[in-house]
Structure 1
């Protein structure tokens, strides 16, 4: 799919149905995320997923795939923004809720504020 050939509704539906996406970085990288307020939120660094090169990008290609059969649901460009975690506490709370198997789940926001970066990927569709 080329940029612009996917609707905002398809992106939202795909992002809500799957807690993972693929980002085109140094190579395709799998990333867990949460959909909130029209964007994909994810966390990297520290004890969380490594997404090398994301910090140097203004835009990234995102691919959403079906949980059932792996088929591509949507592929689109998204703007990349580092999130001020204190100002976006609602988005951080949604992201923390989606984080599975964290050894310190009740303290995730505090740990992320110390050692990780929260990112907002806004679809450009």
Structure 2
């Protein structure tokens, strides 16, 4: 298991370089990072329109920067990826409507997949 996968599995949050550094909750699933933005979920401006984003993972143990990497950004077709949406819904803490998350996300949110890229 590489440092990116290990860091993403151990910590439920990461930092994204968008208009500024933005903290976001996520899950690691099927070799990538998945997260939800928009609607009543976390505000990650212009992430869904980006081609790439810089991601920072920090150590869950001491908060130190573990790894920084670029990731390809891909909007997920939620209807075609029910497994990824289910994994995200399971990890969503304090949701006021836990049973209805997939339907709410499909109507008002964007699910995004971040695939770590090898350095150029």
Specify the TM-score bucket, using the shorter chain as the normaliser: over 0.9
Q: Secondary structure at the match of 2:60?
A: coil
Task: Pick the aligned partner of 1:73 from 44, 47, 66.
Answer: 66
Question: Mean Cα displacement is larger for which, 53-62 or 84-93?
Answer: 53-62
Question: Mean Cα displacement is larger for which, 28-37 or 52-61?
Answer: 52-61
- What residue is the counterpart of 1:14 in the other structure? 7
- What residue is the counterpart of 2:82 in the other structure? 89
- What residue is the counterpart of 1:43 in the other structure? 36
Query: In angstroms, what is the RMSD of aligned CA positions?
Result: 0.9
Q: Secondary structure at the match of 1:74?
A: strand
TM-score by structure 2 length? 0.95
**Could you give the per-residue CA deviations for residues 20-77 of structure 1, whole angstroms, max 9, x where no partner exists?**
0000000000000000000000000000000012122100000000122111111100
Listed as ranges, the gaps of 5+ residues in structure 1 are: 1-7
The whole-number CA distance in structure 2 between the counterparts of 1:102 and 1:117 is 16
Runs of 4+ aligned structure 1 residues displaced above 4 Å come to none
Task: Pick the aligned partner of 2:54 from 53, 61, 64.
Answer: 61
Listed as ranges, the gaps of 5+ residues in structure 2 are: none
TM-score by structure 1 length? 0.92
Paired positions, count: 118
